[in-house]
Homo-oligomer: A and B are copies of this chain.
């Protein structure tokens, strides 16, 4: 029943999305999910050929799907920022995907970069605001290219935007019996993060069952390395979320294992591996598809099938234990072999 728009994008995007689809097709058949897929050709090629990013006709079509499954965008032939803005951020903003959900979960101790922290300690979720803040794209430049130049970038926070993400985070923490941590810099960003802090304090009262705490963003990065076990759910603004989730990705073993969901339950949500298009290894069949597969699992969870998402994660764990991995992860399998092995494990399980 759920319809999925597939946007493989650039570079290794196509290769890793193929493996995600392999898993989704297998799960779909086995559990009668009746998933419908349609692929859309978006990315550097289209931009270079036609000068267009996402044509309105495609945007309209995307609106009719239940979810978008995105590979990666980015190409050395296109100036930095163009595809990220014109595709990735465009979709996040167009569909008002206000939640960027990023689980930080170490699947195997050997992938932890930390001496003292393993799978028992590195397991939390970052909920990043995804539609405003410093990402608003608002600002300007006065006296450009002169010695008097002044550049202004606005961090804009609305009560509606802040409230809905903090509320989502409280609900998430409540449903997962977790503690909610606010990550901000309200001691310095007194306007924008002052609002965050006030709203957080207000919503606390509505969720007396949720334990909370509060750290400034600088302290969060230290704590993530020193005591990651203290975190269950962290809620934060767009910019800080960008930063701490990449740090988190490293703690869970690197980009090869990081997936993210861009969610708005009332519009179209989008699931993607966090990694980029990796043009240097594209087309060689050696890319690591695990993050894309984890993103597919998140999508199933979003469709209400947490049970199936857990099965996929379980299979990935086994594939890691048995070193059925691509080169970057210390194995020697090709991209499609990794997918095949996970299907085999799922068949067994």
Contact = CB atoms under 8 A, between A and B. Distances in A.
B194 A134 contact: no
A194 B154 contact: no
A192 to B, nearest CB: 4
A201 interface: no
Contacts of A254: 222, 226
A84 interface: yes
Nearest to A240: B243
Nearest to A144: B195
Interface stretch (A47-55, A213-221, A286-294): A213-221
A80 B249 contact: no
Interface string A239-255: 11011111101110011
Contacts of A33: none
A330 interface: no
A222 B195 contact: no
Interface string A138-153: 0111000111111111
A31 to B, nearest CB: 35
Looking at chain A, what size class is its interface with the partner chain? 35 or more
Contact of A242 (B81, B185, B249): B185
A246 B218 contact: yes
Given A219-B246, A225-B225, A81 B190 contact: yes
B246 A222 contact: yes
A150 B191 CA distance: 9
A146 B151 CA distance: 30
B141 A195 contact: yes
B139 A192 contact: yes
A128 to B, nearest CB: 11
28 contacts: A81-B186, A81-B187, A81-B190, A85-B188, A113-B226, A114-B115, A115-B115, A137-B188, A137-B190, A139-B189, A141-B194, A141-B195, A151-B157, A152-B155, A152-B191, A152-B192, A153-B192, A155-B155, A217-B242, A218-B242, A218-B243, A218-B246, A221-B221, A221-B247, A221-B250, A222-B249, A222-B250, A225-B250
